[in-house]
Chains A and B, each alone.
Chain A
Amino acid sequence: AMAGTLEPHLEALRRELRAPDPTVLSVLLTLIAVIVTLLIWRLVQGRRSSRKAVLLLGLCDAGKTLLFARLLTGRYRDTQTSINESSAVYRVSNDKSANVTLIDLPGHESLRLQFLERFKAAARAIVFVVDSVAFQREVKDVAEFLYQVLVDSTVLKNAPALLIACNKQDVTMAKSAKLIQQQLEKELNTLRVTRSAAPTSLDGSAAGGPAQLGKKGKDFDFSQLPMKVEFVECSARGSKGEEGDADFEGLEKWLAKIA
């Protein structure tokens, strides 16, 4: 009986396939084509949206744009305060296949958070450039910006590798990376207390972000963060001045590791 009920349906299908109705067939074909294109598109999108970007962040005049130019072209350039981001593909020197997209974001106070918002989702790694000469003066501002970057929910979720590049080491008064690390840890320790104590924001969300940086009770340490943090010394201008090369082997090695 079952076979009997199926038989007429099978017969109808066989009849359809043998003498196909052009409209039905065309509809089927278009449907298949659309599904295939959607699949391909999603694959391509997925590959493109995988985080391949390395962000260059830092205060104004830290040396981000010059570092960017040196990494890409190896030559010195006179730079101005950036008001827009610049991005380019950087090929790691020894390994031809690996490449990352370097994105240089402006450091101006009015612009930096906006651009961070735009590019933080695509970040695989963050290079935070610090001016080692002016560090003593600017330590509070550096710490505040670093705090804002670290507390951001997207950054905490993705946990991109963080490199703190202590730039301008060619000047004699530059502070060492170790000193900068200690000072930043102390400053961030106080900052997380004051920021969480600040009055709550207008729409109810807490001012310092919902996350508490590091472990409560213990003094703040960079090892408490969910991402890998490294400190490196470099000089975008280079010890030989404008004609020579920049000294940033540490930075290049780290980029090779990331890629």
Chain B
Amino acid sequence: SPLPQERGGNNSFTHEALTLKYKLDNQFELVFVVGFQKILTLTYVDKLIDDVHKEFRDKYRNEFQQKGTLGLLNGTFDFKDDFMRLLRDAEESSKVRAPTVMKTFEQSLKSQKTVKCMIETRGEKPKEKVKNKKNKGSKKEGTEAVAAPGKASAGDKQSSGDREELTKDEILQKNREEFFRRHMKAGEKSSKSPKPEAQKEKGKKPRVWDLENSNAKVLDYSNSATNGNAEACPVEEFDPDAALGDRNREPGRLYDLEYESDEEAEEEKVVQNPSKPSVKKGGLGGMFGMLKGLVGSKSLTREDMDPVLEKMKDHLIAKNVAAEIAVQLCESVAKKLEGKVMGTFTTVTSTVKQALQEALVQILQPQRRVDVLRDVMDAQRHRRPYVVTFCGVNGVGKSTNLAKISFWLIENGFSVLIAACDTFRAGAVEQLRTHTRRLNALHPPESHGGRTMVQLYEKGYGKDAAGIAMEAIAYARNQGFDVVLVDTAGRMQDNAPLMTALAKLIAVNTPDLVLFVGEALVGNEAVDQLVKFNKALADHSMAQTPRLIDGIVLTKFDTIDDKVGAAISMTYITSKPIVFVGTGQTYCDLRSLNAKAVVAALMKA
């Protein structure tokens, strides 16, 4: 569903075997959708949708304007006949253009040429053959089995076939002639060859290569008179003033870069002057236009919105939103606002800002429930542990946030097993062991009815991560732990064998929640990381519906002040919610996302 998710920038959408092209009418709040099979390439779809839009709007304009919602509900929109007529017109217009009847051989220029002149241009023959093949291929693409073009194509095939046969004959003839010529020439050549060769040899000069015959003298281009002689250096006229430049500079001081604003001001003046007369001409009309814009009933055009959208896009990119996502967002907002009638006393800037704000809030709204505790309770009832896997690139804070989340779970009374599946990084297991010790000190078994709330399951370094995860889950089921948190090693998204290993871990163990840990400092890289991680998980999964990333943990949020764009980039790419936000390195620094606050920080100037 591209429209509610603010992906409406591109006006076509593919779903299974169908391609849907859509057009928005923002004035009357209508959506026109055309669906057709993906394998067909119909050229008249765009024109059809425009025609339908215009006709429908003109025909039912009164009903929209006057009756409002009741009009929409009650009115019978008997548009079927008009639609069929428009469809037929569009199909015919496309048919007329497509197959141009090919000229028969007699008509073409080639039949007028003699055979001899064609032999010389040898390169043309293969080109001819390629052209014939292309024409045949395009005929096959046509989907409408109409009689007239069919007949034409049959006729063309025949003529091109004739052409091929002729070319074959011609080739034979040409080859024979060449053969004879060569034999004759060979005889002549053999007699002539020693003489010209002898002549050539005399005139031969040795080819001088760079490295082989390097004669140091030949290569030395330096002036032998002056170089190497210390005394005989030519004295140039040395002008100290010219060399130093500014006489007034203090010795030893490094000056700042001077900002030359005068030249720029001049340029601006020059540009403005030619535009001024045009402003004067349109003065009166311009004033009325401005008044009309203030009072309302002015519909937004692309030109009005473009400068504002450019500024908003730059603003978003300055706030650390990935560049391609900022572009797509602005496109989608533009499409949504085009043709919309503005209210009274609203400027273009305010309308666009409002629309962009709504779009951003929409993106940050989760598409599915974000309630980990509820799901843990469910799993508890079924007597199986709730498995959460943390994945991400190196150094984003997986282990730290794992510890924070386990602290939060313990506070809510759930027992946690930490599976140390990071068997690569030095000190990973020790780090988790330290966390376990500290958490057990904070929540001793005595205060929770005698059971240890946190335990670490580790098998040292160098072992297979997927195997350790499986054993940990089985151990948790036997011992009655509520939650299993699986910590994996950080890996770059380009590292194919490591991505395969991660995909295997997730596919084999089927965790309940796959969390991607990303830092809020990341910029355009976020797009690449998420896309590649999702792709790896999808490629290496054997199941029908592969397990992809289910949620995002945004870490190091305290290091960015209001450059919160990474949140937007990540949720836009995956359409998955941000489950947790990490705001520091102590156990209490775990927050949940507040969409409105983030959007307010983003839109703040």
Contacts and interface: CB of A to CB of B under 8 A. Distances in A.
Interface of A: 69, 72-73, 77, 81, 83-84, 86-88, 106, 108-111, 113-114, 140-141, 144, 190-191, 193-195, 197-203, 205, 207
B10 interface: no
A-B interface, 4 closest residue pairs, ranked by CB to CB distance from nearest: A194-B373, A201-B594, A203-B597, A88-B69
A87 B69 contact: yes
A243 to B, nearest CB: 16
A199 B591 contact: yes
B11 interface: no
A140 B365 contact: no
B167 interface: no
A137 to B, nearest CB: 13
A110 B4 contact: yes
Contact of B1 (A69, A108, A113, A114): A108
Contacts of A83: 3-4, 31
Nearest to B375: A140
B365 A73 contact: no
B362 interface: yes
Contacts of B17: none
Contacts of A205: 594
A201 B362 contact: no
Nearest to B590: A199
B191 interface: no
A69 B73 contact: yes
A83 B7 CA distance: 14
Contacts of A84: 29
A77 B69 CA distance: 14
Contact of A140 (B1, B369, B557, B594): B369
B594 A203 contact: yes
B377 A110 contact: no
Given A110-B365, A111-B4, A113-B365, A199 B70 contact: no
Contacts of B73: 69, 72-73, 77, 88
A22 B1 CA distance: 67
B68 interface: yes
Among B3, B73, B581: residue with most chain A CB under 10 A: B73
Given A144-B371, A203-B597, 5 more contacts: A73-B70, A86-B69, A108-B1, A194-B373, A205-B594
A185 B581 CA distance: 31
B592 A109 contact: no
A194 B372 CA distance: 9
Interface string B35-76: 000000000000000000000000000000000111011100
B581 A202 contact: yes
B367 A110 contact: yes
Given A81-B1, A201-B594, A144 B369 contact: yes
A110 B594 CA distance: 14
B373 to A, nearest CB: 4
B232 to A, nearest CB: 77
B19 interface: no
A101 to B, nearest CB: 10
B366 A190 contact: no
Contacts of B363: 110
B114 interface: no
Interface of B: 1, 3-5, 29, 31, 68-70, 72-74, 358, 361-363, 365-369, 371, 373-374, 377, 408, 411-412, 557, 580-581, 583, 590-594, 597-598
Contacts, number: 87
A68 to B, nearest CB: 8
A237 B38 CA distance: 34
B362 A111 contact: yes
B367 A201 contact: no
A190 B376 CA distance: 12
A139 to B, nearest CB: 11
B592 A114 contact: no
A18 B512 CA distance: 91
A202 B5 contact: no
14 contacts: A72-B70, A73-B74, A83-B3, A108-B1, A110-B367, A114-B358, A140-B369, A141-B369, A191-B374, A199-B580, A199-B590, A201-B594, A202-B592, A202-B593
B70 A88 contact: yes
Given A72-B70, A109-B366, A200 B377 contact: no
Contacts of B374: 140, 190-191, 194
Nearest to A82: B4
A195 B592 CA distance: 11
Contacts of A86: 69, 72
Among A69, A81, A200, A201: residue with most chain B CB under 10 A: A201
Among B3, B4, B377, B598: residue with most chain A CB under 10 A: B4
A86 B29 CA distance: 11
Nearest to B600: A203
Given A110-B5, A201-B591, A194 B362 contact: no
B591 A110 contact: no
A87 B69 CA distance: 7
A191 B68 CA distance: 40
Nearest to B69: A88
Contacts of A200: 591-592
A108 B367 CA distance: 9
B416 to A, nearest CB: 15
Nearest to B33: A80
B369 A199 contact: no
B205 to A, nearest CB: 80
A152 to B, nearest CB: 13
B567 to A, nearest CB: 10
Contacts of B361: 114
B11 to A, nearest CB: 16
Given A88-B68, A141-B369, A194 B590 contact: no
A138 B269 CA distance: 66
Nearest to B367: A109
Contacts of B69: 86-88
A197 B408 CA distance: 9
A198 B372 CA distance: 9
Contacts of B29: 84
Given A73-B74, A86-B69, A110-B365, A197 B373 contact: yes
B406 to A, nearest CB: 13
B591 A108 contact: no
A140 B374 CA distance: 9
Contact of B592 (A73, A81, A193, A198): A198
Contacts of A140: 369, 371, 374
Contacts of A73: 70, 73-74
Nearest to A205: B594
A205 B597 CA distance: 10
B190 to A, nearest CB: 86
Contacts of B4: 83, 106, 108, 110-111
B362 A114 contact: yes
A194 B377 contact: yes
B333 to A, nearest CB: 15
B492 to A, nearest CB: 29
A207 B590 CA distance: 12
Nearest to B412: A197
Contacts of B371: 140, 144, 191, 194-195, 198
Contacts of A141: 369
A200 B411 CA distance: 14
A87 B70 CA distance: 9
B39 to A, nearest CB: 26
Contacts of B557: 202
A214 to B, nearest CB: 17
A109 B368 contact: yes
Contacts of A109: 365-368
Contacts of B581: 202
